[in-house]
Amino acid sequence: MTPAAERITSPAAERTTSPAELDAIAERARRASAALVGTPAAARARWLSAAADDLDAAADELVELADRETSLGRPRLPGELARTTAQLRLFAEAILEGSYIEATIDHADPAAVPPHGDLRRMLRPLGPVGVFGASNFPFAFSIAGGDTASALAAGCPVIVKAHPAHPLLSHRTAEIVDAALTAARAPAGTFAMIEGRDAGTALVTHPAVRAIGFTGSLHGGRALFDLAAGRPDPIPFYGELSALNPVLITSAALEARAAELAEGLVGSFTLGAGQFCTKPGVVLVPRASGFADRVGAVLGAGANASADASTSAGPRMLSAAIASGYGDGVQALTAHPSVRVVAGGAAQASAAAADGRASVALFETAAATVLADPDALLVECFGPAALVIEYDDRAQALAVLGAIGGSLTATLHAEPGEPVDDVVAAMTAIAGRVLFAGWPTGVAVTWSQQHGGPWPATTSIHTSVGVTALRRFLRPVAYQDAPDPLLPPELREANPLGIPRRVDGALTLD
C-alpha cells in the first residue's frame, strides 16, 4: 500500500475528450468497423495475442502504476494483470475454434412447410462498441478488460472510457494496446481511449456507437442505460451494476464447520476492502446460531490484515467517493433500530471515510426484520461490510432470497445429502452463478462462466465474463440463395475454415 501523501494526482485526471475529438474517434471507429467485418478470426486472434504479450512484457511498469493509483498492492495486481492477458488469449482461442459465430446451414427444401430456399446464418459484428472502465479492477474490467477483449474478438472496434480513478495506468495501457494492435496490422481506429464524464455520456448517445459495455454503480449505470434506451435508435447497454450475493448456511453445515465458514466469510467479504461486485453482502444463518459473533471474533482477532475493525486505519478505498458512499451505507445500517452492530459501525466508518479508508463492519438482524423493511436492509454496501440474517426456518430463508431478487451469485453451504433442492431452485431463480462450496469472490474466466444475473445485477440476459461475453457484440445475418463465392468463408459449402456448424438441423464438428 502507498501512503496517502505519495498518491499521485495526474494532470491527466482532469482531461476531458472534447466533442470534436470524440466525433473524430467515432468516425475512425466507424470506418474501422467496415474493415473489421471482413477480417478473418485468425487475424483478430493475432491482435489479441499481441496485446496480451505486450501487456505482459510491461507488467512491472503497469503494476507499479496501478499500485500508485489504486493501492491494491501485490499479489492482487500482478495476478489481475495475468488474468487480463489470459482473458485476451482465451478470446483469441475461442474465435479460432469458430463455433461462436453459430454457423448454420439449411439447404433448400421444397418439401418443407412452407418450402424454403438455401438459408445460411452466422453472427456478424455489431459495430463500434463503447466500454466503460471500472474503478475496482484497473486491469480486468478496464482498458484492456473483458468488455474490450470480447468486443475486439467479435470484430467490433472499441472506444473505451477510462475510469478517472487510475488515469496514468489507463493511458499507459491504452498506449500499449494501441501500439500492439497497430503493429499486428489491425485497421486504424480499431481501438481508442477517451476521458471525462461528459465524453462518456456523449459516447452512449453517439450515432456511430452500436453497443455499450459497463461495469459500475447502480446509480451511474441506470443513468447511462436510460440514455442508451432513449436514443432515437436504442442500442444494447450491457451493464453490470449491483449485487448482494447472498450466502445461505444450513444448521448442519454450521455444526460441521462453523470456524472454517467464519474464516472463509471474513476472507471473502473483506478481500480488496470489499470492493468486489461478487462480495458476499448478506449471509443467511439459522436463528441463535451465534455465527455473527464467531465472525466478529475472527475480525477482532485481526486474522486478516485488511479486516482490522478496531481502528480506522483500514485499507485505502478506490476513490474518495467510494469511501464516502461506504461510510454512508455503514451509517444507515448502524442507525437501523433492529440491526445489531457486531463489529465496526458508524463511528469507525465515518472516521475512516474521511481519510478515504475503509473500516470493516459486520451487522446482524432477523429475517423477519428484513422482510418487513427490505428497501432499507437489502441494499448493496460497496466495501468491507456484511449483514448476517438469522432465519427461523427454511421457508423464511427462501422468502429472504426472493426479496433479494437479482444477484450475480448465490452461495449455499450445506452438508452432503441434505435436502436442498428448494434452496437451489430459489438461488437459480435469482442468480447468474450458484456456488456449492467456497465463496463468490473470484470469477474464473472460462467457457462456462456466467457473470450476470437478473436486474439489478445486470441489464441484459448475457454475461460480461467468460467466452460467451462475445455474444453481446454480435448480431445474426442470414443469406438466402447466395452464390457460394459471395458467402463469408464460415458459410461456404466446403467449410474451408473447418469450424463446427449446424447443417440441416444437425450439429457437425467438421
Residues from 112 through 151 that contact its own copies (CB under 8 A): 112-117, 119-121, 124, 126
Task: Give which of 396, 462, 456, 405 is closest to 430, Cα–Cα.
Answer: 405
- 2/460 with CB nearer its own copies: 460
Shortest distance (Å) from residue 299 CB to its own copies: 26
Task: Find the helix or strand (DSSP H, E) in which 190 lies.
Answer: none
Question: What is the rounded CA–CA span in Å between residue 148 and residue 238?
Answer: 12
Using rule CB under 8 A, residue 492 touches its own copies: no
- Pick out residues in 185-214 that bind its own copies (CB under 8 A): none
Of residues 240, 364, 380, 390, which has the active-site annotation? 240
CB 285 within 8 A of CB 390: yes
Using rule CB under 8 A, residue 477 touches its own copies: yes
Using rule CB under 8 A, residue 420 touches its own copies: yes
Shortest distance (Å) from residue 53 CB to its own copies: 14
Using rule CB under 8 A, residue 97 touches its own copies: yes
Using rule CB under 8 A, residue 301 touches its own copies: no
Between 44 and 83, how does the x/- string for binding to its own copies read (CB under 8 A)? Answer: -----------------------------------x--xx
Q: Is 277 a catalytic residue?
A: yes
CB 491 within 8 A of CB 122: yes
Applying CB under 8 A, among 27, 93, 355, 373 the residue interacting with its own copies is 93
Using rule CB under 8 A, residue 395 touches its own copies: no
Of residues 277, 380, 381, 390, which has the active-site annotation? 277
Q: What are the Cα distances from residue 507, in Å, to 185, 297, 345, 482?
A: 34, 56, 57, 21
Between 446 and 475, how does the x/- string for binding to its own copies read (CB under 8 A)? Answer: xxxxx-xxxxx--xxxxx--x-x---x-xx
Using rule CB under 8 A, residue 382 touches its own copies: no
Q: Residue 473 is placed in which grid cell?
A: 457484440
What one-character-per-residue DSSP string does 210-246 give? -EEEEES-HHHHHHHHHHHHHSSS---EEEE------
- Pick out residues in 215-274 that bind its own copies (CB under 8 A): 225-226, 229-230, 233-236
3-state helix, strand, coil in the chain (%, to 5): 45, 15, 35
Applying CB under 8 A, among 2, 394, 482, 492 the residue interacting with its own copies is 482
- Pick out residues in 10-49 that bind its own copies (CB under 8 A): 34, 37-38
Shortest distance (Å) from residue 310 CB to its own copies: 31
Applying CB under 8 A, among 1, 179, 301, 444 the residue interacting with its own copies is 444
Q: Is 240 a catalytic residue?
A: yes
Shortest distance (Å) from residue 97 CB to its own copies: 7
Burial 474-507 (b: 16+ CB within 10 A, else e): beeeebeebeeeebbebbbeebebebbbebeeee
- With cell 482532469, the residue in question is 14
Question: What is the rounded CA–CA span in Å between residue 442 and residue 451?
Answer: 11
For 386, the 3-state DSSP assignment is strand
Number of residues that bind its own copies (CB under 8 A): 87
Cβ neighbours of residue 28 under 8 Å, at least 6 residues apart?
157, 188, 189, 192
- Name the phi and psi angles at 302, rounded to 5: 60, 30
- 162/431 with CB nearer its own copies: 431
Q: What are the catalytic residues?
A: 240, 277
